[in-house]
Amino acid sequence: MDQKTNELFTATGRRKKAAACVRVLLKGTGKIIINGKECTKYFSTIDNIVEVKKPLQVAELEGKIDIFANVKGGGTSGQAGAVSLGISRCLVDWNPQIRFALRREELLTRDPRAKERKKYGRKGARRRFQWTKR
């Protein structure tokens, strides 16, 4: 394998308005700490917890490494996506052979979707004001 011998890897993940700085410690016990809280305490929905743990399941490293993340901005789903992308990038830095498995699960692709800006003359981004005949 083409693995690096460092124990600590860092990467940044982004999604919507959220940005996550992720540190992966290779010799760990499986802790996932986000903004000083346990992953299950920080994210209330199961979907977000599964999204954060998905890169570890694909790489078969669940329970073997520790993850520390600082997340700012956005909502909970955006923050979960940002942490997931950061974890995936750290794992690729550690072992480039994992890239193909992560790419197949679309975990290395930065999701470009973001909130569309409000335009003038509109009620929202696309919604028009109601038209009245009289």
Residue ranges of the domains in the chain? Answer: 8-104
Sequence-ordered list of residues with C-beta below 8 angstroms from that of 103, at least 6 positions apart, any chain: 109
CA separation (Å) from 6 to 27, 112, 134?
A: 10, 31, 72
CATH 3.30.230.10 fits 8-104, yes or no: yes
Output the six-digit token pair for 73: 């901005």
The pTM (predicted TM-score) of the whole model is 0.88
Q: pLDDT tens for residues 14-70? A: 999 999 999 999 888 889 999 999 999 999 999 999 999 999 999 998 889 999 999
Can you give the pLDDT at residue 2? Answer: 63
Is residue 48 within 8 Å of 54, Cβ to Cβ? no
Q: Tokens representing 51? A: 């999204």
Distance between CA atoms of residues 38 and 29, nearest Å = 13
By C-alpha distance, which of 52, 49, 47 is closest to 20? 52
The residues, ordered by sequence, that sit 6+ positions from 106 with a Cβ below 8 Å of its Cβ are none
Q: Which residue has the tokens 């956005």?
A: 74
Query: Which residues in 73-120 belong to E strands, given as ranges?
Result: none
Please write the tens of the pLDDT for every residue from 72-116.
999 999 999 999 999 999 999 999 999 999 999 999 999 999 999
- Which one-letter DSSP state was computed for residue 106? T
